[in-house]
Amino acid sequence: MGGRTIAIGDIHGCAAALAALVEAVRPGPDDTLVTLGDYIDRGPDSRGVLDQLIALGGRCRLVPLLGNHEEMLLDARSDAWSREFWLACGGRATLASYGPDAGLDAVPAAHWAFLEGCQKVHETSTHIFVHAKEGFRLPQDAEDGRPLWPRFSGKVGVVGHTAQRSGEILDEGFLKQIDTSCYGGGWLTALEVTTGQVWQADQKGRVRRAARDRGIPEKG
C-alpha cells in the first residue's frame, strides 16, 4: 500500500512554521511531500527553510516545485537588473538569513543545487501540482509543456502563489489553492490530497486544527 501524498503551500522563509508542520505531519519513507514553491524571501529564515527541505529529502519522497521567487533568485546570478528586481521582491530578507552583509556568494552549493533541481509540475493519476494556477494551459493553447487546466483534465489541481488572506484553503473542487499567507500573518498549510486532512502552523510555530474541526464551513 502506498503512503500519503501531502502538499505544502508557500513557506516564504517561515522556518519555524515549516518545522512545526513537519512535526505534526510526521512524513515517513512511504509518503510523498510536494512543496509548491516560494520557499524563500520576505520571511525571517530562508536559509533555515532550505536546510529543512534538503533534510526532508532523506526522510520521505520530497517533490519540490519551483516558485517564482526561486526563479528570481536563480536569475539574480546572471545580471545586475535581475538581482535588483529580486532584492526588491523580498530577496534582502533571504540574504540576511545567511549573515550580515551577505551576498549571493554566501549561498552554499547545496542550496543552489536544491533550487536548480526543483520541478515546474508534478502529476499523479488524480492530481496536478504547480506553483500557481497560471501554470496551467487551456485546451486551445498550443502545447508548451504546461499541464492541462484541471477542469478539462479531469484531475484536481493543487496550487500555491495566490495568498488566501483568510488563512483558509480556497477549495473550488477542481482546484485547491493552499497558500494561506503564512508570511502575511496567516498560516502555513499542509493538505493530504486524498483524504483532505489539513494541518496548519503560523510563523511562531503554533499549530491549529483544520477549519472543519473548528466548526467553520468549508467552501467548495
Rounded Cα distance, 93 and 42, in Å: 6
Q: With 60 as the cut, is the pLDDT of residue 217 above it?
A: no
Q: Which grid cell sits at 124?
A: 499523479
Q: Which grid cell sits at 195?
A: 483524504
Can you say how many angstroms the Cα of residue 182 is from the centroid of all Cα atoms in its chain?
11
205: left (phi over 0), alpha (psi -120 to 50) or beta: left
**Using an 8 Å Cβ cutoff, are 129 and 7 in contact?**
yes
pLDDT of residue 212: 58
pTM of the model: 0.93
Rounded Cα distance, 123 and 114, in Å: 20
pLDDT of residue 209: 75
Q: With 50 as the cut, is the pLDDT of residue 137 above it?
A: yes
Rounded Cα distance, 54 and 14, in Å: 15
pLDDT of residue 220: 44
The domains located in the chain, with CATH, are 5-214 (3.60.21.10)
Q: What tens digit of pLDDT does each residue of 160-186 get?
A: 999 999 999 999 999 999 999 999 999
Q: What tens digit of pLDDT does each residue of 43-62 get?
A: 999 999 999 999 999 999 99
Q: What tens digit of pLDDT does each residue of 13-24 get?
A: 999 999 999 999
pLDDT of residue 110: 98
Rounded Cα distance, 144 and 147, in Å: 9
pLDDT of residue 211: 62
